[in-house]
Amino acid sequence: MAILGAINPMLTVGLDGDNAWRLADYVKRDGYSALRRILESGIGQGDVINEVKKSVLRGRGGAGFPTGLKWSFMPRAFPGDKYVVCNSDEGEPGTFKDRDILRYNPHAVIEGMAIAGFAMGAARGYNYVHGEIWEIYERFEEALDEARAAGFLGRNILGSGFDFDLFAHHGYGAYICGEETALLESIEGKKGQPRFKPPFPASFGLYGKPTTINNTETFASVPYIINMGGDQYLEAGKPNNGGTKLFSVSGHVNRPGNYEVPLGTPFATLLEMAGGMRGGRQLKGCIPGGSSAPVVPGPTMMDCTMDYDSISKAGSMLGSGAVIVMDETTCMVKALERLSYFYYEESCGQCTPCREGTSWLYKVVHRIEQGKGRAEDLDLLSSVTTNIMGRTICALGDAASMPVQSFIKHFRDEFAYHIENRKCLVPVDVQRAGSGFFTATA
């Protein structure tokens, strides 16, 4: 099991690896009680949304937008079809929490979506699952069958007159579909190219109908919020940062995996839970919120707490809660090169600055890494990123730019060394040892 630790957990309470994901297990954990209570005790749509607002649950997908507020944007009186969509297209490098939620607690997502459907008057939902985690997509389909059979999905749920159908839709290898409007295009059977906003999905979403899209973890949190009350959920975290959150810790730690901790937990604590730095080496840098977040130098990171505000103050973003830990064996040029390749490869190709700019960034960083860098390259890179940022339909252009800017800002000397000496500052054998690949075997 890759949920390796927790402090005051909610989402991961009572999970027992692969053995407790089924409906019966979930019901034993008090599952579907929130939905049942809403439907049976006549709690109104507005009440549900208010509870979510009170919890200050912020979107767990990366943007951190207050969920209750988002739900309130849905035109509740709109007479036609409306949709709730779950974004489980988890492809942001470093992020692997939704996979574990779907794997170990899929019914929490289903219940959360059904509650959301009720609150916003939507009778149909889709969960868009990252194509690469196929086994988990299949498990989710199984969980859906269970929920349908038990009457938690379908027509007239629990005799309340409320109808809600939920289906799984799989991706097939496009990071951009994690962007909510690209995801909608993808469900519609098209290329995942983000839409210009406005109009926002709340007015023109899936099939042109009002739609709300939330992250897996966000939906999964909803039953817990309803059960414990919004105020208590908020208290579990810290002001403006309600609840607990799953952090995916990867890279140079002893125990990479998911950790559910209250927002506001010190980074040092999280690092300790993850077994500390591998081989007792020094933290060189950390990307605290998925690959799109700016890198934070080790010493700064050690002073942060894990919540939206603290990380923002450190010049980065909490994002999806993906903590990529890099120790002193890391060549920062190589690290950036790989990220730049990723954004170049995953650009949907729609907007000029992103389509052309991401490939330009990658080519220059690649050149530097190959020992063919030029003195003017660092200024060129920074200029190209400013020409991309804020000039595209979606945030991928920004996401591609921020690593470039932050890596150069914080590790400029290492880039300069690479350009001047045509090789890594960190010796190659040190880098190789750092990955632990060849020492892992007996």
Partner 1 sequence: MLTPESLKRIDREIAKYPADQKQSAVMAALAIAQEEQGWLSSEAIECVAGYLGMAPIAAYEVATFYNMYDLKPVGKYKLSVCTNLPCMLTGGVDAGEYLKRKLGIGFNETTPDGLITLKESECMGACGDAPVMIVNNRRMCSWMNPEQIDKLLAELK
Partner 2 sequence: MEIEIDGKVAQVPDGSTIMDAAQQVGVYIPHFCYHKKLSIAANCRMCLVQVEKAPKPLPACATPVTNGMKVFTHSELAIKAQKGVMEFLLINHPLDCPICDQGGECQLQDLAVGYGGSTSRYQEEKRVVFHKDVGPLISMQEMARCIHCTRCVRFGQEIAGVMELGMASRNMHSEITTFVGRSVDSELSGNMIDLCPVGALTSRPFRYSARSWELARRRSISPHDSVGANLALQVKNNVVMRVLPRDNEEVNECWISDKERFSYEALNSPLRLAKPMVRVDGQLREVAWNVALDYLSHALQDVLSRNGGESLAALASPQATLEELHLLQKLTRGLGSGSVDCRPRRRDFSADGKLVGIPWLGLRLSEIKDLDAALVVGSFLRKDHPLFAQRLRQLAKKWGKVSLISVSGDDPLLRLHAQLAVSPAELPLAMAAVVKAAAVLRGEPVPAGLADVEPCAASQAIASSLLAGERRAIFLGNVAEQSPQAALLHALANELARLTGASCGFIGDGANSVGGHLAKALPTALNAYEMFRQPRKAYFLLGVEPELDCHNPQQALAALQAADLVVMLTPFADGPARDYADVLLPIAPFSETSGSFVNCEGRLQSFSGVVRPFGEARPAWKVLRVLGNLLSLAGFDQDSSEQVRDEIVAAGTEFIGGLDNRLAAELPVALARSGDGLQRVADVPIHFADLLARRAPALQQTRDAAVPAARMNGETLKALGLTDGVLVRVRQGAGEAVLAARVDETTPPSCIRVAAAHASTAALGDMFGAITVERA
Residues sharing a CB contact under 8 Å with residue 105, sequence separation 6 or more, in sequence order = 11, 12, 15, 21, 26, 220
132 binds partner 2 (CB under 8 A): no
Residues sharing a CB contact under 8 Å with residue 198, sequence separation 6 or more, in sequence order = none
310 binds partner 1 (CB under 8 A): no
- Please work out the total of residues on this chain that contact partner 2, with binding judged by CB under 8 A: 32
Contact present, 413 and 405 (Cβ < 8 Å): no
- Written as six digits, the tokens of 348 are 């949907």
Residues sharing a CB contact under 8 Å with residue 196, sequence separation 6 or more, in sequence order = 393
**Binding pattern for the stretch 371-400 against partner 2, x by CB under 8 A and - elsewhere:** ---------x--x--xx--xxxx-------
- Written as six digits, the tokens of 80 are 């036609």
CA dist 45 and 43 (Å) reads: 7
From the list 14-22, 115-123, 227-235, 321-329, the region that binds partner 1 by CB under 8 A is 321-329
The residues in 92-151 that bind partner 1, with binding defined as CB under 8 A, are 92-96, 98-99, 126, 130-135
Q: Are strands 244-251 and 322-327 parallel, antiparallel or unpaired?
A: parallel
Q: Which partner from the list partner 1, partner 2, none does 93 bind, CB cut-off 5 to 8 Å by kind?
A: partner 1
338 binds partner 2 (CB under 8 A): no
The residues in 85-104 that bind partner 2, with binding defined as CB under 8 A, are none
The residues in 149-178 that bind partner 2, with binding defined as CB under 8 A, are 174, 176
The residue with tokens 């979403």 is: 205
432 binds partner 1 (CB under 8 A): yes
- Written as six digits, the tokens of 400 are 């591609």
Contact present, 11 and 244 (Cβ < 8 Å): yes
- Written as six digits, the tokens of 188 are 């519609």
355 binds partner 2 (CB under 8 A): yes
Please tell me the chain's helix, strand, coil percentages from 3-state DSSP, rounded to the nearest 5.
Answer: 45, 15, 35
169 binds partner 1 (CB under 8 A): yes
Q: Which partner from the list partner 2, partner 1, none does 322 bind, CB cut-off 5 to 8 Å by kind?
A: partner 1
From the list 181-189, 305-313, 382-390, 413-421, the region that binds partner 1 by CB under 8 A is 181-189
Pick from 364, 399, 402, 419 the residue near partner 2 by CB under 8 A: 364
Contact present, 152 and 114 (Cβ < 8 Å): yes
The residue with tokens 């020492």 is: 439
Is 187 or 393 the residue whose CB approaches partner 2 more closely? 393
Pick from 252, 366, 410, 418 the residue near partner 1 by CB under 8 A: 252
436 binds partner 1 (CB under 8 A): yes
Output the CA–CA distances (angstroms, integers) from residue 185 to 175, 195, 196, 208, in the order listed.
13, 8, 12, 10
To 5 degrees, how large is the angle CA 215–CA 257–CA 296?
80
Q: Which partner from the list partner 2, partner 1, none does 356 bind, CB cut-off 5 to 8 Å by kind?
A: partner 2
- Which residues of the shown chain bind partner 2 in the complex (CB under 8 A)? 174, 176, 191, 196, 198, 344-353, 355-360, 363-364, 367, 380, 383, 386-387, 390-393
Q: Tell me which residues touch partner 1 (CB under 8 A).
A: 2, 81, 90-96, 98-99, 126, 130-135, 167-175, 186-192, 207, 248-252, 256-258, 287, 291, 322, 324-326, 330, 334-335, 338-339, 342, 345-346, 348, 432, 434-438, 440-442
